[in-house]
Structure 1
Amino acid sequence: MRATAAGVLGLEVSLLQSGMGGVAGTELACAVSNAGAAGCVGGYKLAGGALSAMLDRLVTGTDRPVGVNLIPEVVGPAELDRQVAQVLEETPQRVHLSFFGMPDDAVLDRVAAAGRQTVVQIGTADDGMHAAARGAVVVVQGTEAGGHLLGTSRRDDLVGTLRALVPDACLVASGGIGSPEEAERALAAGADGVLLGTAFVVAHESRAHARFKSAVTGADEADTVITDVYEIGWPGRRHRVLATSVTADPEQPTKFIGKTVVEGKPYLVPRFSSAVPTEATSGRIEEMALYCGQSCGAISGEVPAAGVVATFAQVLSGAAFVKTKERAESHVG
């Protein structure tokens, strides 16, 4: 049997938490890792002292494997190189690097040379094969996922395609997974673990604004839409969000609708900003980017991050994972 995500990353549960910028702070990442899964903090555009402060909180908050998520297309090659250098210099070996989208090969080579594990989230078969060839854990994102979309394929279709193309790769399914039953379907398609985003948006330790959390727990998949209106700060990507007055009328004027604070620095939030509303945000929360996957229908309330991990451990840990895979392989066969 192929290695599970838990086996590759040194976890108890083959479950990864999405490193959602703004929402996934060190509190959430550490809580997920301390529960036996792979927590991940959102690095986004942080650098210098702000990044160092976050990394210090991360490594003091957990002694388990944990990740730092970086976004190549948002920061550009030079800034990404500086971020990677900081993470490698300021964190121990148990901290892996997670990339949303493909970084340059030189970046992957640098991480590998440092003896660190790499996780790469992709949305196409070509990128998946490329990441697998470089030894990365490949997170296969389907269009069911909340947030920015890297491709146009459904989750299980893309997982199945990649499993045939790279049979020995460690594939982690992402998108629309809100229950253990949905995780089992992803495993049946050929995944070796799953990544959750929306389920952790509503965790106690998440930094998502309270009205953002309430909107997610009160929604079902029909309340989500794929749009490109929230492009300020992250142009050129479609994203799945909860439908808002902004997605319904993208011709509204671009003006400031709120304020937020990131690592102690205040910022104004314009309409159409890609920034998520966090606990440090004020203003018209209901008009902001409420990233939400199709899993929201299975999410009914706010729970501790450890509770989310425990729920999915039913099918993603130890002997339970083996039994689940055996049932899936038997069904497929």
Structure 2
Amino acid sequence: MRTGLATVLGVEVALLQAGMGGVAGTELACAVSNAGAAGCVGGYKLAGDALSAMLGRLVAGTDRPVGVNLIPEVVGPDDLAQQVEQVLAETPPYVYVSLFGMPEDAVFERVAASGRVLVVQVGTVEDGVLAAERGAVVVAQGTEAGGHLLGVSGRDDLVARLRDRLPDACIVAAGGIGSPADAERAVGAGADGVLLGTAFVVARESRAHPHFKMAVTAADGVDTVITDVYEIGWPGRRHRVLATPVTENPKQPKNFIGRTVVEGRVYPVPRFSAAVPTVATTGRIEEMALYCGLGCGAVSEELSAAVVVAAFARVVPSFRVVETG
């Protein structure tokens, strides 16, 4: 017997929003959660006062289940532990912890001790099994996904193999889900729900730069490439992006091509930066990292987060408990 995602998170729609750093601000996360799904804000490298400011806006914007996404391999174990402690200390119990990639065992133990829900995105069966055994909701990311890639398997294949190993686990599919039909296929492979990234990049509440949004809505899957050129700030990880002058000519100098503002602080943006262009970014936007999944062909207009959630609510499972075995 396994418990459905709706029960685990306390949501009405078994849909997670990806915690995309920069793009997924509190406006988007709260809008998704207020629409009945599970929103998620991108915590990325925020800490201290900057993280506190974001958490304050998050809890002021919704009293429904909502997540904070953190990235273990970007910040390292010590900083991640501090981020987790800050999230747990400064937010109410309905805020869940979302991790992109596997943390050390101490993080699993700390979140479990707090009674919070832990969501962990993985790209391999081995990591999925370990995360499920430690009590986490497992997000199975396929290579169809936009952004950084955690494995080499296709979405439905990874979901099916995880379901075979983990009949009672709560498994969410991620990667290339741009339409309800894509979601139906993922559910058919064994998923309890889906995670959307690209579809929310172009949501009205998203902080993605207007050029970024227009590029996604005009694109099809063939316009994306898997590369590792956007490595400044996040080295050693392949990513799927829209093809740009930088992906086409990766031997260009690492000059500064713009600047961006994060929680009131101004940062220069070098060519090959992993940072996405947001509404607070200026410069050569067309050269920056435009993360985009294979499902972009079904994402053709800027809609409100609530409209996106409603479209998928008809196809993702809302079951509370299902018999297994």
What TM-score results when the alignment is normalised by the length of structure 1?
0.95
CA contact (8 A) 2:16 2:37 kept: yes
Residue identity opposite 2:237 in structure 1: R
Deviations 1:121-148 (A, max 9, x none): 0001110000000010000000000000
Higher helix share goes to which structure?
A: 1
- Equivalent position of 1:299 in the other structure: 299
Deviations 1:50-98 (A, max 9, x none): 0001001000100000000000000011110110000000001000000
Deviation at 1:6, TM superposition (A): 1.2
CA contact (8 A) 2:193 2:317 kept: no
1:6 aligns with 2:6: yes
SS of the aligned residue for 1:292 comes to coil
- 2:303 and 2:182 mapped to 1: Cα distance? 19
- Equivalent position of 2:276 in the other structure: 276
SS of the aligned residue for 2:56 comes to helix
Residue identity opposite 2:36 in structure 1: G
- Equivalent position of 2:285 in the other structure: 285
- 1:316 and 1:185 mapped to 2: Cα distance? 10
SS of the aligned residue for 1:60 comes to helix
Q: Superposed, which structure 2 residues align to 1:1-333 within 5 Å?
A: 2-316=2-316, 318=318
Deviation at 1:117, TM superposition (A): 0.5
- 1:209 and 1:182 mapped to 2: Cα distance? 26
SS of the aligned residue for 1:29 comes to helix
Runs of 5+ consecutive residues of structure 2 not aligned to the other structure: none
SS of the aligned residue for 1:315 comes to coil
Deviation at 1:7, TM superposition (A): 1.5
Deviation at 1:105, TM superposition (A): 0.8
CA contact (8 A) 1:3 1:192 kept: no
Residues 132-141 or 3-12, more deviating = 3-12
- 1:66 and 1:149 mapped to 2: Cα distance? 23
Runs of 5+ consecutive residues of structure 1 not aligned to the other structure: none
- 1:55 and 1:288 mapped to 2: Cα distance? 27
Deviations 1:14-50 (A, max 9, x none): 0000000000000000000000000000000000000
SS of the aligned residue for 2:126 comes to helix
- 2:161 and 2:232 mapped to 1: Cα distance? 33
- 2:142 and 2:201 mapped to 1: Cα distance? 18
Give the number of the structure with larger relative contact order, counting CA–CA contacts within 8 Å between residues 6 or more apart. Answer: 2
- 1:8 and 1:84 mapped to 2: Cα distance? 20
- 1:318 and 1:206 mapped to 2: Cα distance? 26
SS of the aligned residue for 1:69 comes to strand
SS of the aligned residue for 2:225 comes to strand
| Alignment RMSD (CA, Å) | 1.5
Residue identity opposite 1:98 in structure 2: S
Residue identity opposite 2:39 in structure 1: G
CA contact (8 A) 1:12 1:317 kept: no
Deviations 1:100-130 (A, max 9, x none): 0000111110000010010000001110000
Residue identity opposite 2:189 in structure 1: A
Aligned residue pairs total 324
